[in-house]
Amino acid sequence: MNLEVRDLGTMRYAEAWELQKEIHAAVAAGRESPHLLLVEHPPVITLGRNAGRSSLLKPESWYTEQGIDVHVIERGGDVTWHGPGQLVGYLILPVGRQVRQLFRFLEQALVEVAHSFGIEAGSDPELAGVWHGREKLCAVGLAVRNRVSFHGFALNVNSDLASFDAIVPCGITGRGVTSLARLLGEEQDMATVKDRTVAALKERFSRWPAAVGEPEASWRG
């Protein structure tokens, strides 16, 4: 499978969402090849299909005052934060009935990225994402419409982890969040992280099978 990669740099969430929808429609219609969009967002909080307002630990007015946009979206999962220093990837490709397989393919590719930095990380059979012990390094949440996936992952690279204090990350209590910078003891070069992420995804998805059949779904593990 040929995966076209587009690096969007820094882009507001709403603008990236419009682009994602445009590319999704083109892939579903067969006018575009599968895409991976890479982006850093200004501070924003997104609430997935499983999110409740109890996952927001501040009044909504507080987020507005802090310049943090809040969006309710249709991916699987609960609430998460995006912002500078976090690598967000949107994976847009035909998936058919293989939603769970796609989720695991993506999750394992991101585990491989962590391993490439010498970090012990893995998936959790009960919880979505990539974990280092009891701390989440990378969130994963997907949706599928018209047999094509959208949304994707958020890898904490040089993220300000204090930003997660205003939410219950992914709606999970009793767990924490971490980043590559925190685990490695120094800020990481984002270009290097992007290169390793793209390489891992391209290698794994070169084996992705042709898929047919799934009308609409979301999955978060």
pLDDT band at 50 (very low <50, low <70, confident <90, very high): low
Would you state the pLDDT for residue 184?
98
pLDDT of 36 > 50? The answer is yes
pLDDT of 58 > 90? The answer is no
Pull the structure tokens for residue 4.
């076209």
CATH number at residue 78: 3.30.930.10
Domain that holds residue 128: 4-219
Q: What is the pLDDT of residues 85-136, one digit of tens each?
A: 999 999 999 987 788 888 889 999 999 999 999 999 999 888 889 999 999 9
Contacts of 41 (CB under 8 A, 6+ apart): 10, 11, 12, 13, 16, 82, 83, 86, 88
- Binding residue ranges for substrate: 75-82, 139-141, 152-154
- Binding residue ranges: 75-82, 139-141, 152-154
Rounded to an integer, the average pLDDT of 29-36 is 94
Would you state the pLDDT for residue 8?
98
- Residue 138 a catalytic site member: no
Q: What is the pLDDT of residues 59-69, one digit of tens each?
A: 888 888 888 88
Are the CB atoms for 157 and 190 separated by under 8 Å?
A: yes
Tell me how many domains the chain contains: 1
pTM of the model: 0.88
Q: Which of 51, 170, 200, 201 is catalytic?
A: 170
What Å distances lie between residue 35 and 77, 169, 185, 192, CA to CA?
22, 27, 33, 20
Phi, psi values for residue 174, rounded to 5°: 80, 10
Would you state the pLDDT for residue 96?
79
Would you state the pLDDT for residue 217?
46
Nearest to residue 150, comparing CAs of 201, 196, 104, 93?
Answer: 93
